[in-house]
Amino acid sequence: MKRVMGLAVALGLLASGPAGAADTIKIGLMAPMTGSWASEGQEMKRNVDLLAEQANAKGGLNGKKIEVVIEDDGGDPRTASLAAQRLTTKGVVAVIGTYGSAVTEATQNIYDEAGITQIANGSTAVRLTEKGLKHFFRTCPRDDEQGKVGAATIQKMGAKRIALLHDSSAYAKGLADEINTILKANKQNVVFFDALTPKEQDYSAILTKLKAANPDVVFFTGYYPEAGLLLKQKKQMGWNVPFMGGDAINNPDLVKIAGKDAAAGFQFLSPPVPKDLDTPEAKAYVVAYKQKYGESPASIYGVLAGDGFLSVTKAIAETKSTDADKIRDYLVNKMKDFPGLTGKLAFNAKGDRVGELYRVYKVDKNGEFVLQPK
């Protein structure tokens, strides 16, 4: 009986596969639906789902419905390369994602060889767009841009002894190196440069060592789970040094993990958070998002995934084609000041987003992220 059913299911799949493919345009979403960045992945899915729904309600794309095909990259390069291979066999014309730089890097060549446009939403490592891949784009800014803003902010604070801490990931190490190079070039005193092990709970050994180096400011370039724990344990030690961080710390869970008291005063660099987006498109979008999910978008990276979706669907609609070369031509040469959710969208020949995005944010006493004046 089982075998008969299995056969029936297999036949059913065969029958429905090609028939379904003809009347939809498939857009892939590769996101960390599980693993330690799962909350980011679920945000990405919510944004892309909502935008696809909106587009389909308006009649879809070139007369066809858009179908979002999701694969889980687990926030892990190995899982991601398998996810990418699965997506390439499912007939997607473009892929949105993903969040972590190392994870994206594991999939770039797979999509490139398959001739599929990839638009990453959170991968800021510089080298991703320096490889000359024709079909890779990203809606987030690059770490060298972030490094400049970071170094400038540290110098503006007037810190004499600077500590840099990263977590050995492609993104965090890249950003820390970037800042370190700029600071050294400006003859600043970097007294500490080292890496912690991510995903642990206890960072007191690292904090004790940091404290012994006696810095005026500590810049941590890693992700929000570790940043939250560092802030909390720093507070428990009774140590009052100002902490700063990069854009991977922009997640409301930071305050949940650290506690409001410990997070207060923490500063980080980031593209503007969803509530500070002030274009009419963004405001209308946040309202629609609230209607569907009952809360505002929590993470900017989810919204940036939405921008990736908007860019690629715009390109397909304008060129009336799903050919990756034509999409590239449109994104690089023809798209100028397209109003996205996080501001105007345009890409340069490397696939990087054009324009300045970084702002400085500070956590206030109530745990809110407050945009600092430029």
Partner 1 sequence: MEQFLQQLINGLAVGGIYALIALGYTMVYGVLKLINFAHGDLFTYGGYLGLTLLTSFALQGHLGTFGAIAILTAMVMGLVGIMGVVLERAAYRPLRESPRLSAVVSALGASIFLQNTLMLIYGARFQVYPEGLLPQVAVSLFGLQVPLIRILVVLASVVMMTALYLFVQKTKVGTAVRAAAIDQGAARLMGIDVNKVVSLVFLIGPALGGAAGLLVGLYYGQVNFTMGWIYGMKAFTAAILGGIGNIPGAMVGGLLLGVIEALGAAYISIAWKDAIAFCVLILILIVRPTGLLGERVAEKV
Closest CA to 217 of 196, 256, 188: 188
Residue 77 CA from chain centroid, whole number: 15
> For residues 205 and 354, which CB has a smaller minimum distance to partner 1 in the complex?
205
Q: What does the alpha-carbon distance between residue 197 and residue 48 come to, in Å, rounded to a whole number?
A: 32
List binders of partner 1 among 38-57 (CB under 8 A): 38-39, 41-42
Interaction of residue 196 with partner 1, rule CB under 8 A? yes
174 near partner 1, rule: CB under 8 A: no
For partner 1, which is the closer residue by CB, 237 or 370? 237
**Single residue of 236, 296, 333, 372 touching partner 1 by CB under 8 A:** 236
> What's the CA gap between 160 and 306, in Å, rounded?
41
- Closest separation between CB of residue 50 and partner 1, Å? 19
Residue 170 contacts residue 141 (beta carbons within 8 Å): no
Exactly one of 60, 122, 222, 225 binds partner 1 (CB under 8 A); that residue is 225
Q: Which of 13, 10, 29, 47 is nearest to 298 (CA)?
A: 47
Q: Which part of the chain contacts partner 1 (CB under 8 A), choosing from 6-14, 56-64, 192-200, 350-358?
A: 192-200
| Stretch touching partner 1 by CB under 8 A, among 5-13, 35-43, 321-329, 334-342 | 35-43
Residue 74 DSSP class: T
36 binds partner 1 (CB under 8 A): yes
Residues 27 and 68 sit within 8 Å (Cβ to Cβ):
yes
Q: Does 364 bind partner 1 (CB under 8 A)?
A: no
Peptide bond just before 117 cis, omega within 30 deg = no
CA angle, 369 then 372 then 373, to 5° = 155
Residues 246 and 335: their CA atoms lie apart, in Å, by 29
CB-wise, 257 or 357, nearer to partner 1? Answer: 257
Cβ 1 to partner 1, closest distance in Å? 24
Phi, psi of 176 (to 5 degrees): -65, -45
Q: Which stretch binds partner 1 (CB under 8 A): 51-59, 129-137, 221-229, 336-344?
A: 221-229
Tell me the one-letter amino acid at 4. V
Q: Is 320 in the site for partner 1 (CB under 8 A)?
A: no
List residues near partner 1 by CB under 8 A: 33-36, 38-39, 41-42, 168, 194-197, 199-202, 204-206, 208-209, 212, 225, 228-229, 232-233, 236-238, 253, 256-257, 259-260
